[in-house]
Amino acid sequence: MLLRSDRIAGGLLAALGVATLAEALLRLPLGSLADPGPGYAPVILGALLAALGAIITGSGAESPPLGARGWAELPHAARVTGGVVFAVLALEPLGYRLTTLALLLFFLGVVERRSLAATLSVAVAFSFLSHYLFATLLRVPLPTGPWGI
């Protein structure tokens, strides 16, 4: 059987969905439709990801062979992955607002090379307005940084 790129990607997504589903079912209370528990959303998302991954795997017969794919986008993918890793590691020590601000400055300014004005305005507005939405209006506890921001 020839390895095809869509089949590999779909299989990985399906495996991630099954792992998410299993982890949520084993560790988190599901709750009910009227009163969902913390495992409710991960179970739905894991099942959806597993199903869509299986569909991609099944329909991947027409995709190019895995060896025919080029690696031209590898530097871009590495920058995006590096930004996400930074965000995971910086969220607690820097807090939500500063981490989101730094991540958006990096993504918009370095990765996507947008103008300085657009990068600054979107990054500042999104980091502070999303914090207001989640922390104040929705009362989601978010990490605060060393200066209380």
Long-range contacts of 140-148 (CB under 8 A, 24+ apart): 142/95, 142/96, 143/91, 143/92, 143/95, 143/96, 144/95, 144/96, 145/93, 145/94, 145/95, 145/96, 145/97, 145/98, 145/99, 146/93, 146/94, 146/95
Domain residue spans in the chain?
A: 5-68, 74-137
Mean confidence (pLDDT) of the chain: 91
Each residue of 11-51: pLDDT tens digit? 999 999 999 999 999 998 888 888 888 888 999 999 999 99
Each residue of 75-88: pLDDT tens digit? 999 999 999 999 99
